[in-house]
Structure 1
């Protein structure tokens, strides 16, 4: 059986495992901070569940983008959206970490993974635009069901990522429903 860079692929997967320990600012329904890996998993599930409503997009590519979009956070961690203005090089730093993480892969595989990341960052295709919007929607959905701390800033969510979610009619309506849940959480 050919090797196909078995050791390099396993080492990459070991690096990617670190994403399971990177926590985000969102909390689960039990009050634990969620991991970036958990967010990416539910983002992919969201895409699968709403596949028929997403229009003419390649669902396989959408799922690949979901898997790769935050992978670079495995090395340097997550920057919460409200603090993103303090980290203007976030995308570039994640890209550099992703290049380091994939350095043990064959150049074609590394190029595929980094290319998917670049496509997502630039929202350069219909699939990337869908994933950008779904990424925001997954975060907003988590904030409506999480056991968040008392000082959680729900008002931030009402504008967060709107340029992506409002660009696709179905996702704008999905966003509207989640915004209603956010408003309810604000009055508790």
Structure 2
């Protein structure tokens, strides 16, 4: 690798650092706003934790998709699920392309992002489902504001978690945790 190519890769990594300062609408269990980089890290961990249940799927591809799936948010930020209207894919894709800049082979990353976004492979479908489950689980763990709408979780992207037996099982478990948070909130309000 020559020095110029190495500089381009470093420049990309510097731009991607913005993901550490890109906040989501959820909160950590300690009450801090969750950042997108932390969400991405835990999505990767989901893949590793359930790898034995995903036989036949390409784990390296899934981890790459998990790392790349929200990277465009480093440019324009995250849009909370409750505020999303229409198809946000085109904007996210444009942001992702902008972030890639002049990497030597941006098409490899873009191809994986497109596969994830379109859910055109079994790997992409599972990552999409795990992504939604990670978000919902964080909502059940977060130190959320008093007006947090846990009910939203119960219908959130249900279709993304319905295709694989593991996703279905995990969805039922995460929904149970959501119902527990809803019940705890009602009991707190009644006191």
TM over 0.5, shorter chain? yes
Which aligned segments of 4 or more residues in structure 1 are displaced greater than 6 angstroms?
Answer: none
1:34-183 matches, cutoff 5 A: 34-85=34-85, 88-106=86-104, 109-183=105-179
User: TM-score if structure 2 supplies the norm length?
Assistant: 0.93
Question: Which runs of 5 or more structure 2 residues have no equivalent in the other structure?
Answer: 185-191
List runs of 5+ in structure 1 lacking aligned partners: none
Cross-structure match for 2:188: none
Deviation at 1:167, TM superposition (A): 1.1
- Secondary structure at 1:158's aligned position in 2? helix
- Structural RMSD (CA): 1.1
**Offset, 1:101:** 1.2
Residue 27 in 1 paired to residue 27 in 2? yes
Number of residues of Structure 1 aligned to a counterpart in Structure 2 = 184
- Cα deviation code 1:38-88 (max 9, x no counterpart): 000000001110011123200000000000000000000001111111xx3
* Distance in 1 between residues matched to 2:92 and 2:160, nearest whole Å: 20
Deviates more, 1:161-170 or 1:129-138: 161-170
- C-alpha distance in structure 2 between counterparts of 1:94 and 1:138, whole Å: 20
TM-score of the two chains, using structure 1 as the length reference: 0.95
Secondary structure of the corresponding residue to residue 34 of structure 1: strand
C-alpha distance in structure 1 between counterparts of 2:84 and 2:148, whole Å: 17
